Amino acid sequence: MIIVMSPSATEQNIDTVVKKVKEYGCDVNISRGVERTIIGAIGDERTIDQELIDALQGVEQSMHVVKPYKIVAREWHKENTVVDIKGVPLGGNTVQIIAGPCSVETQQQMDDSAKYVKEAGCRLMRGGAFKPRTSPYSFQGKGVEGLEIFRKAADAQGLPIVTELMDVRMLDTFMEWDVDVIQIGTRNMQNFDLLKEVGRIKKPVILKRGMSATISEWLMAAEYIAAAGNHNIIFCERGIRTFETYYRNVLDVTAIPVLKKETHLPVIVDPSHAGGKAWMVPALSRAAIAAGADGLLVEMHPTPCEAWCDADQALTPDELKKLMVELGGIAKIIGRDI
């Protein structure tokens, strides 16, 4: 940490700052200039409370030199992490496409969905048993019954399942139904109690970016999970909120290479929630894979016009098959496979 003292700072002010830094277990280096004195904290500066330092008399500005996230940072783990999901590797050379409907509706719908996901060549299936909706009057999901339906349909096709956990009180239920990948949605990205709890288990976790979250906030949210012991974390860019209203969210393709630089953990993209319209999904998917994403989270419904949730953004089974072929071509060009 670098602490810049104001020109009017007294020796007593400087001594107070030095004493406080040492209380955090760090050593100090004092550089006295013509106008300002700069104090450098030497050691594990992550322990230092920046707000407390800034509040000390005579301090003009302080800044961390080392990144506040440690476990998820690439500087401490140079090699890419590959998350194993029941034998399906996510984060390696193979790009994984996770497909399925927005929500679990009926057994027949999920049975058909699982069959189409498998036929398209996808190795993982998504589906929401619990649905966070903007309106309290919208369909909220089938709950535990939905987990049972999903598990049965996916098991018949040998597909690991991905579904969203909204409430920490349902974590034991998710474990009972052996959910393979727990998804933390955009609205819960900074639900720190929930993050701590999923950090105490070893199940892979997909952490979606908050709709207005910065990259740093997103990485720090992942650090909560990792700090609790679970390092099986997958970042998911799903579009951010801006002033634009033509489409649902703005897919931040830039986040993919930035995260690849900052973290060793896998990065996937949800093109369905980004665009909000099925006709946008192929283009956004192609862009994501070309930019280096390790996978996609794509909505597909046997009959989109009859979907109970997000009907406008769901692909048909034939559209998913066509998309898989296109993505395979792009992956090959950049030295990967689908």
State pLDDT tens for residues 118-147.
999 999 999 999 877 677 767 667 889 999
What pLDDT shows up at residue 31? 84
295: part of which helix (H) or strand (E)? strand 295-299
CA dihedral 44, 47, 52, 57 (to 10 degrees): -20
Report the alpha-carbon distance of residue 149 to residue 155 in Å, rounded.
10
The phi and psi torsions of 298 (rounded to 5 degrees) equal -115, 135
- From the list 248, 270, 268, the residue with the least C-alpha distance to 102 is 270
- pLDDT of amino acid 133: 67
- Let me know the angle formed at the C-alpha of 283 by 281 and 288, rounded to the nearest 5 degrees: 90
CB 235 within 8 A of CB 263: yes
C-beta of residue 38 within 8 angstroms of C-beta of residue 2: yes
Provide, for the chain, the percentages of residues in helix, strand and coil under a 3-state DSSP scheme, each rounded to the nearest 5: 40, 20, 40
With contact defined as beta carbons under 8 Å apart, do 9 and 61 qualify?
no
Q: Are residues 153 and 48 in the same domain?
A: no
d(CA 223, CA 211): 18
What is the average per-residue pLDDT within 263-268?
Answer: 97
Same domain (yes/no): 199, 313:
yes
CATH of the domain at 41: 3.30.70.1140
Residue 47 sits in the same domain as residue 85: no
- Identify whether the C-beta of residue 36 lies closer than 8 Å to the C-beta of residue 55: no
Q: At what angle do helices 281-290 and 317-333 cross, to 10 degrees?
A: 20
What is d(CA 324, CA 322) in angstroms, rounded to the nearest whole number?
A: 5
Q: What's the pLDDT tens digit per position in 174-225? A: 999 999 999 999 999 999 999 999 999 999 999 999 999 999 999 999 999 9
Q: Is the whole-model pTM more than 0.75?
A: yes
Domain CATH number, residue 260: 3.20.20.70
Residue 209's pLDDT is: 98
Q: Could you tell me if 191 and 110 lie in one domain? A: yes
| Same domain flag for 169 and 199 | yes
pLDDT digits (tens, 9 = 90+) for 51-100: 999 999 999 999 887 777 889 999 888 999 999 999 999 999 999 999 99
Residues 125 and 247 in one domain: yes
- In single-letter form, the type of residue at position 292 comes to G
| 69-81 CB burial, b ≥16 within 10 A, e <16 | bebbbbeeeeebb
The pair of structure tokens assigned to 123 is 């190795």
136 shares a domain with 40: no
- Residue 42 — very low, low, confident or very high, per pLDDT cuts 50/70/90? confident
89-113, pLDDT tens digit by residue?
999 999 999 999 999 999 999 999 9
Specify whether 148 is located in the same domain as 35: no
User: Phi-psi bin for 80: left (phi > 0), alpha (psi -120 to 50), beta?
Assistant: beta
Domain encompassing residue 36:
2-63
